Amino acid sequence: MDFGPFLLLATMEGLVMAAVLALTASGLSLVFGVMRVVNVAHGEFFMLGAVLAWFVAEAAPGPPWLGFMAALAVAPLLVASVAALADTLILRRLNYEPEATIVATIGLLYILQQAALTFYGPDARPVVAPFDWRIQLPWFGWSGYKLFVIAAACAILTGLWLLLSRTRIGLVMRATQYDSETARAFGIDVDRVYAGVFALGAALAAVAAVLIVPIQQAHYLMGGDPLLLAFIVVIIGGLGSLRGTLVAALLIGLSDGIIGVFFSPTVAKIIATLFVAMVLILRPQGLFGRRPA
Amino acid sequence: MRPDPIGAPTRRRVLQAGGALAASAALPGFVQAQTSEPIRLGFQLHRTGIGAAYGRWYERAAKGALEIINAEGGINGRPVEILFEDDGTDPRRGAEVVEKFATQSNCDAVLGPLFSHVVVGTAPRAGELRIPYLVCSEGNHVASGMLNRWTLQPGITDVRSQVQSMAPWVLANLGKKVTMVFPDYAFGHDHRDSFTQAIADQGGEVIAQIAIPPTETSFTRYMPRIPRETEVLYHVMVGPAVLTFVKELGEFYGTGARPEIFGFIDSLEGVDINSPGLEFLDGSHFWEGHCRYLQAEPGAHEAAYRDAVGVDGNGASRADARDVSTYGHMFSPWETLFIIKAGMEASGYQSADDRQAFVEAIEAMTDMPYSIAHPQGPKVFNGRTHQVFGLQYITKVQNGRMDRVHTTSIEDGLYPDQVDYTTQPF
């Protein structure tokens, strides 16, 4: 294949990855930014979203697009309620102490993974894509659904940005992030904000998973990679910075796509990890993070 | 308390005497019980992890064979039982499972799983524990000599033999310039090395080798590396993402010009070939160890085998038509169980002390004619390399099923010995 089309394919594949990564990582970043909780179970919320999407799509009657839309609506809500429950039952009781929450979310990781293994089983199962449209370029064909993934991720991220910057909910979240003691003094129910943020973070991972599950397949071990990549993105972008997360997701997604196509995916992973190390040494707060006072 | 009168039987003495009496009476009974005690086999199974579909069906096939063996009187007149234990498709856990079978469950022999990294990781431990380890994988690792005298592969032909026997057909019917896509670990490397050699020997050429990391979930990015002049695309993939691989191949080529496609059924074991996105495979060819779809002229034992495992004419579970079997591989545990029976009966196997004689009895085996014990087809066992050789089938995807178009001979797949395990100590 010539260089031009090759680069085009690499960029398109990279954009799909960046889109999914941006959604997943923004959830992780949001939870850390507001709650200062490092959520190790984030990848399992991703997996749970995919698995629930399969259940919903199976149960929904009618054509595949209907099942998919139902999954897109229902699965993130279910995952969000699991996350809110986990926050109320576990994290709040630990007073959100950093070390304790890391251990607790590791436990949550195993509980969710084993629950999926028990109730969903060890098989990889596909959700049928909502539409079957193929783009035929002169050099190669590409799945039209992948374009939809990119567009949907952009729309959801725009919505998230509007929510955080233009609404009262966003204001309350930002106030809690800035200084939770003062926010409490001004009558903000910080506990509810925390539960809501944790649920929102998990729901973002779940949405990403529902979008990806017609391309990949739902499997109980699928949470590992997204967690690792989301951490890489969040560290590079700066923990808690949404803008940084988006830029880093684009960077990692595109570099993985392009380096993965031209050299090998292993090289792409090595470079991403190297980049994380450089950021940690030279700019520990991340590209867009604020240095703690 | 009043002291016992001298000479009168104390309660303790009465109990001691009674106990001794009971023990002496029970002794012949104990010997009796030992010989009618079940033969106990361990089955190291991929119940979870990336090999789960294989594990589920290996268990069903083994249970089907077990039922027949026990109905016909077991082994040496003793009933047989199988302990199934999950290895998580993980080599480290695999070795632990075999250790448990040998030291805690007192198993007489162990059946091994499909995935080569688990087998290769487990075999040294089985050798240390001196327990027969009969593997149902298909790698060249047994015949290559890298394992040990306790490890045998009597139920399924290895990859080297499979590809050697089919390469001539691929060259003659599909094309001479081949691009290979395979997983980047031992099993894939067996394919890469053996097929590249076999194609070169026959006057063809492998023009590109695309190795894919086993954890990969998206494959489109690899497809531009398939050279344009490729005449045959050879694919063998395993793990949860195989369906994605074929779908993306379809999206990449679409309805435009495409090379001929020859795949190993490993790429689609446990997957319905009529799944959405797989229309692309129509007209392509597959290697199958055993034809998933019931063929026009099935062998005499095909129906009985399908009945016993619970599989319909489409290779799916009779209980759930969407639960598609790993038909191309699962005859392997079935046949291995019958070989264990034959080996134990030939060696007069009584207890774990006879394990060595049991291995020697299997090493002495040669011809294995087509029968209910060998429903995949006749085979020849090579005791020196611990590897069996059988027929291979090439099928074509058409009309929503896979129809057999070619059957290789056993001779097509024979190659010079790479090792003589019988000269190695136990």
Worst-scoring range by mean pLDDT, A184-193, B128-137, B165-174, B233-242? B233-242
Confidence label for B31 from pLDDT (cuts 50, 70 and 90): very low
Under a CB-based contact definition with an 8 Å cutoff, are residues B362 and B153 in contact?
no
Partner-chain contact B224 A132, CB within 8 Å: no
Q: Phi and psi dihedrals of B397, rounded to 5? A: -80, 115
Can you say whether the dihedral through the CA atoms of B171, B177, B183, B189 is positive or negative?
A: positive
Under a CB-based contact definition with an 8 Å cutoff, are residues B289 and B268 in contact?
no
Which residue, among B303, B300, B309, has the nearest Cα to B331 in the 3D structure? Answer: B309
Chain A partners of B270 at a C-beta cutoff of 8 Å?
123
Q: Which residues of chain A have pLDDT under 70?
A: 1, 290-293
Partner-chain contact B224 A215, CB within 8 Å: no
Chain A, chain B: beta-carbon pairs less than 8 Å apart: 82
Partner-chain contact B218 A215, CB within 8 Å: yes
Kindly state whether residues B382 and B401 are assigned to the same domain: no
Which residue, among A135, A149, A142, A257, has the nearest Cα to B252 in the 3D structure? Answer: A142
DSSP assignment letter at A289: P
Kindly state whether residues B252 and B399 are assigned to the same domain: yes
Interface residue B228 vs chain A (CB under 8 A): yes
pLDDT in tens, B366-382: 999 999 999 999 999 99
Mean pLDDT of chain B: 89
Cα→Cα distances B28→A5, B11, B19, B20, B25, Å: 82, 27, 16, 14, 7
Chain A partners of B255 at a C-beta cutoff of 8 Å?
136
> Is A259 inside any structural domain?
no
How close B251 gets to chain A, by Cα (Å)? 6
Chain A partners of B253 at a C-beta cutoff of 8 Å?
140-141
Task: Tell me how far apart the terminal alpha carbons of chain A are, to the nearest angstrom.
Answer: 52
Q: Would you state the pLDDT for residue B306? A: 97
d(CA A163, CA A224): 29
d(CA A151, CA B158): 47
d(CA B158, CA B415): 11
- In chain B, the number of structural domains is 2
**Domain boundaries, position A96:** 19-222
Interface residue A142 vs chain B (CB under 8 A): yes
**Domain boundaries, position B178:** 159-325+392-411
Chain B partners of A46 at a C-beta cutoff of 8 Å?
none
DSSP assignment letter at B222: G
Kindly state whether residues B141 and B100 are assigned to the same domain: yes
d(CA A25, CA B203): 52
Q: Would you state the pLDDT for residue B17? A: 53
Kindly state whether residues B248 and B146 are assigned to the same domain: no
SS3 assignment, position A192: helix
Partner-chain contact B252 A141, CB within 8 Å: yes
> Is B10 inside any structural domain?
no
Task: Tell me how far apart the terminal alpha carbons of chain B are, to the nearest angstrom.
Answer: 63
Helix H or strand E segment including A241: none
Kindly state whether residues B138 and B194 are assigned to the same domain: no
Does the pLDDT of residue B109 top 60, yes or no? yes
> Is B304 inside any structural domain?
yes
Kindly state whether residues B166 and B205 are assigned to the same domain: yes
Interface residue A21 vs chain B (CB under 8 A): no
Kindly state whether residues B184 and B252 are assigned to the same domain: yes
Q: Phi and psi dihedrals of B367, rounded to 5? A: -80, 135
The CATH number linked to B304 is: 3.40.50.2300
> Is B419 inside any structural domain?
no
What are the structure tokens assigned to A245, written together? 């997360």
Interface residue A136 vs chain B (CB under 8 A): yes
- In chain A, the number of structural domains is 1
What are the structure tokens assigned to B363, written together? 């090493």
> Which one of A2, A24, A219, A270 makes the best mutation probe of the B interface by having the most chain B beta carbons within 10 Å?
A219
Distance from chain centroid for Cα B403: 23
Which residues on neighbouring strands pair with residue B134, listed in sequence order?
Answer: B111, B152
Under a CB-based contact definition with an 8 Å cutoff, are residues B100 and B93 in contact?
no
Does the pLDDT of residue B66 top 60, yes or no? yes
Q: Would you state the pLDDT for residue B29? A: 43
Does the pLDDT of residue B14 top 80, yes or no? no
> Is A32 inside any structural domain?
yes
Does the pLDDT of residue B32 top 70, yes or no? no
Number of helices followed by number of strands (H, E) in chain B = 10, 15
> Is B229 inside any structural domain?
yes
Partner-chain contact B47 A132, CB within 8 Å: no
Which residue, among A115, A114, A113, A108, has the nearest Cα to A39 in the 3D structure? Answer: A108
- CB burial of residue A187 (10 Å; 0-12, 13-18, 19+): exposed
Q: Would you state the pLDDT for residue A5? A: 83
- Which residues 240-279 of A have a C-beta within 8 angstroms of B? 257, 260-261, 265-266
Q: Who has greater pLDDT, B4 or B54?
A: B54
Q: Phi and psi dihedrals of B162, rounded to 5? A: -55, -50
Interface residue A11 vs chain B (CB under 8 A): no
> Is B18 inside any structural domain?
no
Kindly state whether residues B228 and B150 are assigned to the same domain: no
Q: Phi and psi dihedrals of A239, rounded to 5? A: -60, 130
Does the pLDDT of residue B22 top 70, yes or no? no
Confidence label for B346 from pLDDT (cuts 50, 70 and 90): very high
The region that residue B403 occupies, defined by phi over 0 for left and psi between -120 and 50 for alpha, beta otherwise, is beta
pTM over 0.80: yes
d(CA B379, CA B370): 8
Worst-scoring range by mean pLDDT, A226-230, B151-155, B266-270? B266-270
Partner-chain contact A260 B221, CB within 8 Å: yes
Partner-chain contact B244 A132, CB within 8 Å: no
Kindly state whether residues B171 and B66 are assigned to the same domain: no
d(CA B227, CA B410): 33
d(CA B9, CA B7): 6
Cα→Cα distances B117→A234, B53, B137, Å: 34, 17, 10
Interface residue A115 vs chain B (CB under 8 A): no
By Cβ distance, the residue of B48, B213, B253 closest to A265 is: B213
Chain B partners of A141 at a C-beta cutoff of 8 Å?
251-254, 256
Kindly state whether residues B221 and B253 are assigned to the same domain: yes
| Predicted-assembly ipTM surpassing the 0.95 threshold | no
Q: Who has greater pLDDT, B26 or B328?
A: B328
Does the pLDDT of residue B240 top 90, yes or no? no
In this structure, the strands spanning B205-212 and B177-183 are parallel
Interface residue A63 vs chain B (CB under 8 A): no
Which residue, among A41, A50, A34, has the nearest Cα to A241 in the 3D structure? Answer: A34
Kindly state whether residues B402 and B253 are assigned to the same domain: yes
- Compute the average pLDDT of residues B53-68: 96
Q: Would you state the pLDDT for residue B250? A: 86
Q: Would you state the pLDDT for residue A261? A: 76
pLDDT in tens, A94-146: 999 989 999 999 999 999 999 999 999 888 888 888 888 888 888 888 888 99
Kindly state whether residues B123 and B261 are assigned to the same domain: no
